Amino acid sequence: MRKKIVAGNWKMNMTLADGEALVEEIMNKSPELDDNKQVIFCTPFTHLMLIDDTITELSKPNFFLGAQNCNNNTSGAYTGEISISMLEEVGVDSVIIGHSERRQYYAESNEFLKSKVDALVENDLQVIFCCGESLEIREANTQNEFVAKQLEESLFHLDAAQMLNNVVIAYEPIWAIGTGKTATTAQAQEMHSYIRSLIAIKYNNEIAQEISILYGGSCNATNAKELFACEDVDGGLIGGAALKADTFLPIIEAMF
């Protein structure tokens, strides 16, 4: 049975003290997560060590630590960058790769993202691979081809075991991120089922059925239950609503 996952992407928000208090409140109030459910806190780099300590201290199963980016090289002269071994040292389990903000503001191409995917898989970390189309592409009704190309060029070179063990996909239509404009359940289900069909064609149906596909883009306390009830939606990658316990806890509860 594939896992349900709720990952909070804090982006460039939150003081250390607020972040620590947030994780404490969420973990204390959250229902117990069985092994088919995960909550991942994807914090800024500077918060990782502290939040790892907090998660460890509270010691509730199936809460994990995530980063929002990594470098594709092992080490060396890359001023301002953070390596995967550095992330592992502070307890990171998962890394978001290919978020549309990084594709857009830092010109991260499919080919470049492929090298990050490879480096993460080599180190056996979980990749939360983001894909999704702009409004322009949606309006031209070419979103399927666009998303297929993102997956083809950055992810589908992995072998079956790597896909199964290391990959979670997050479908995030860019027009829904931070805009308050959520994809309808029909739009989300349609794309998620399309992505699953691509995995089935590339690998096989068993693998397609095992990989969690999260929805992201203005997912919130009100719409999470309905979105997660879609057959092929296995949870969410949450931005704005991940910054407060009042809005994040109902999203965690929507996995049940």
Out of 47, 99, 108, 192, the active site residue is 99
Residue at shortest CB range from ligand PGA: 239
Which of 208, 227 has the CB closer to ligand PGA?
227
Nearer to ligand PGA (CB atom), residue 96 or residue 125 = 96
The distance of closest approach from Cβ of residue 65 to ligand PGA in the complex, given in angstroms and rounded to an integer, is 17
d(CA 106, CA 109): 9
Least CB distance to ligand PGA at residue 66 (A): 11
Judged by beta carbon, residue 10 or residue 203, the one nearer ligand PGA is 10
Q: Which is nearer to ligand PGA, 133 or 208 (CB)?
A: 133
- Helices 245-253 + 16-29 axis angle, to 10: 40
To the query of whether residue 190 is one of the catalytic residues in this protein, the response is: no
Among residues 101, 108, 133, 172, which one is catalytic?
172
Residue 65, token pair as written in the block = 């630590």
Question: 182: alpha, beta or left, given left = phi > 0 and alpha = psi -120 to 50?
Answer: beta
- The secondary structure of the chain in percent helix, strand, coil, rounded to multiples of 5, reads 45, 15, 35
Q: What one-character-per-residue DSSP string does 233-255 give? A: --EEEESGGGSSHHHHHHHHHTT
Beta bridge partners of 131: 171
Minimum CB distance to ligand PGA, residue 172 (Å): 6
172 is an active site residue: yes
Q: From the CB of 92, what's the least distance to ligand PGA, in Å?
A: 17
Compute the distance between CA of residue 144 and CA of residue 161 in angstroms, rounded to an integer.
Answer: 25
Amino acid at 235: G
Query: Which positions touch ligand PGA (CB under 6 A)?
Result: 9, 172, 177-178, 216-219, 237-241
Query: Would you please indicate which residues are annotated as catalytic (active-site) residues?
Result: 99, 172
